[in-house]
Amino acid sequence: MQRRGGTVVLHGLADGSRKARIDIQRAAELLDLTRLKEEAQGLSRRRDGMLTEKINWQKWGYLIGSALLLVGFFVVRSGGFVKGLSMLMAGILTINFIRRKDKATMAEVRELDLKIDLLNGRIQDREKLVNSSR
């Protein structure tokens, strides 16, 4: 304790308070860093799931569309003109649907990639901040 004029300063408490404030700030930075890492991992898992689902859609969609085209072709050749053309059209529409769905999925994946890159940048900034406060 130090007395000057009409004031009293408690040095021990001031230093302890400053250290406690620094510790609280560092703990908050570590919690924020952990939250950012978990969010980035969640987005990465979501992105991977979307790509896996896209591959399955492609595989089955193109297989079904191709089968409809092939069967429709043989039906037209064997004399069932209306049924064959219907199957050909169904095959074309199936393949077209799969291609549009793939484009939409890839747009969402690109959007997630941007979010993940942004989070990774924020994570690197937080790690530098946490490491510099040690």
- Answer yes or no: are the C-beta atoms of 84 and 76 closer than 8 Å: yes
Are β-strands 7-9 and 2-4 bridged in parallel, bridged antiparallel, or unpaired? antiparallel
Could you tell me the pTM of the whole model? 0.67
CA–CA separation, 62 and 98 (whole Å) = 7
Residue pLDDT tens, the chain, 134 long: 555 666 655 555 555 666 767 777 777 888 888 898 999 999 999 999 999 999 999 999 999 999 999 999 999 999 888 999 999 999 999 999 999 999 999 999 999 999 999 999 988 888 887 777 66
Domain containing 56 equals: 2-132
- Answer yes or no: are the C-beta atoms of 41 and 120 closer than 8 Å: no
Q: Read off the DSSP letter of residue 8.
A: E
User: How many distinct structural domains can be found in the chain?
Assistant: 1
Other CB atoms within a 10 A radius of the CB of residue 94 amount to 20
CA–CA separation, 109 and 130 (whole Å) = 31
pLDDT of residue 80: 86
